Structures are given as structure tokens and as C-alpha cells.
Amino acid sequence: MTFVQVIDYETRRFDEMNALIDRWAEQSSGKRTATHTMIGQDREARNHYVDMVEFASYEDAMRNSHLPETDRMFEQMVALCEGMPKFVNLDVVRDEHLNKRLVDRVFREALMGGDLGVLDECCAANYIDHDAGREEPTAIGRDAMRSGVEAWSRAFDMTFEPVAQLSEGNLVTTVWNWRGTQKGEFMGVAATGKTYEMSGSTTFRCQGGEITEGWWHYNPGQLQRQMGGSGSPYGS
């Protein structure tokens, strides 16, 4: 279970605190178990800060706490604070990235499930699509994405197996393995009934609960060589 330690403190010496945290990160390299740190500054009380440190588990957090580098940092941190820092230890019981949910719907329900109405729900009307497989790599509008999905769906029964997914800010990147059994004409090759594979990644920008831009990175030549054909899946 993911574990988060929250450190609540006041300081007038945040520049020194920031440098202290940088030194700890450098000195504890190869030893620390923290996976993510974030510092927030109170907008109403500018000397008030909250640090959030994430660990894969409570046990990992305890190992991190027992590092001599962490002990030294804590002593120096207290010296920089106005009063004693307060600690809150949290077991994470719900961890939900809403942008990931949005992206997953496009892959699961539209690309693999064939429900193109999902694109209307998830993608902005002025969506911008960047696709390595196109001769004209940029297309604008939700309908452009729909036509691309339709071209692939007519040609293949396909699946996207997610290998890894990262959400940072308003960007979600999914690394995937694609597998498609050809059921229709594609890139000048008539339906073969054969199954082909390739890998790639997609980065979506999400704003206001919609996907506004996407970048598809893959090697169309890899698929062309498997199929023994040439041309564009978009017929241009």
C-alpha cells in the first residue's frame, strides 16, 4: 500500500531548506526509498510549508527514516524551522489520476471496443493530432482522430497492451504493445487474417476534462515490413 508522510512546518529560510533537501537527495542516492516529493507553500501564510513524501509502502518509509543521511537532514531541518515540524503519516486508500482515466477510456472503449462516441465525450472539438504514420503528420479536429481510428478499426481487430503509463501535469504518456489481426485492406494489402505486432507510445494533453492534443510515436515501417506492403493507412 502506498504511504505518504506529510511534514508541516514554518520557516523564514526556505532557500536554505531547499538546498538542504537537494543535499539529502544527492547524499542518499542509491539508498533512499522515497519515490516522489512535493512541497507546497501556503498562499495566505507565506512562511508556512507542507512537504509530501511518497513511498511504495510504510516499510519503505521506515527504512528511509533510519538512513543516517535522513537523521542528519532532520536535525538541520529543525534548526531552520520556526518551532517543531509536525508529521502526519498516511496510508493511501484511494489514488486516482483523472487524466489517466480519461486516456484509458479512449484506448479501452474507442480504440479496442469500437465505441467511437467515446471520442465525442473525451476529445475536444478542436483536438490536434500528431501521428507518425501520416504523410501529413498533424491533423486538427475531433473528426480527424475519428477517421484515423475508423481506418485502423476497419482493417484490424486490435488490442493495446499498456506497458507503462506516466501522468505529469496535464500530460499522460502511455507506452503500449499493439497486436492486430488483419480483417480488411490496409496500406495496399488485402485482408490476410494474419496477426501483426508493433510497439509505440502515445502522449495526450488533457485540459478541462478533455483531451486537447495527442502525439502518436511508433514505426509504421515495422508494420509495413511484416505485411509486405507499402503506403499509408489514411489513403494519402
Q: What is the CATH number of domain 98-227?
A: 3.10.450.50
Residues with pLDDT less than 70, the chain: 137, 229-236
Q: What is d(CA 143, CA 129) in angstroms, rounded to the nearest whole number?
A: 10
Please answer whether residues 141 and 213 qualify as being in contact, where contact means their C-beta atoms are separated by less than 8 angstroms: no
Q: Which pLDDT score is estimated for 230?
A: 53
- Return the SS3 of 79: helix
C-alpha to C-alpha distances, 90 to 3, 7, 58, 96, 202, nearest whole angstrom: 6, 11, 9, 16, 33
Q: Which pLDDT score is estimated for 148?
A: 87
Q: What's the angle, vertex CA 188, arms to CA 184 and CA 191, rounded to 5?
A: 25
Q: Which pLDDT score is estimated for 229?
A: 57
Q: What is the pLDDT of residues 21-47, one digit of tens each?
A: 999 999 999 999 999 999 999 999 999
Task: Give the strand pairing for 3-10 and 86-91.
Answer: antiparallel
Q: Which pLDDT score is estimated for 235?
A: 45
Q: Dihedral sign, CA of 24, 25, 29, 32?
A: positive
Q: What is d(CA 71, CA 125) in angstroms, rounded to the nearest whole number?
A: 53
Q: What is the pLDDT of residues 51-84, one digit of tens each?
A: 999 999 999 999 999 999 999 999 999 999 999 9
Q: What is d(CA 102, CA 188) in angstroms, rounded to the nearest whole number?
A: 33
Residue ranges of the domains in the chain? 3-91, 98-227
Domain formed by 3-91, architecture = 2-Layer Sandwich (3.30)
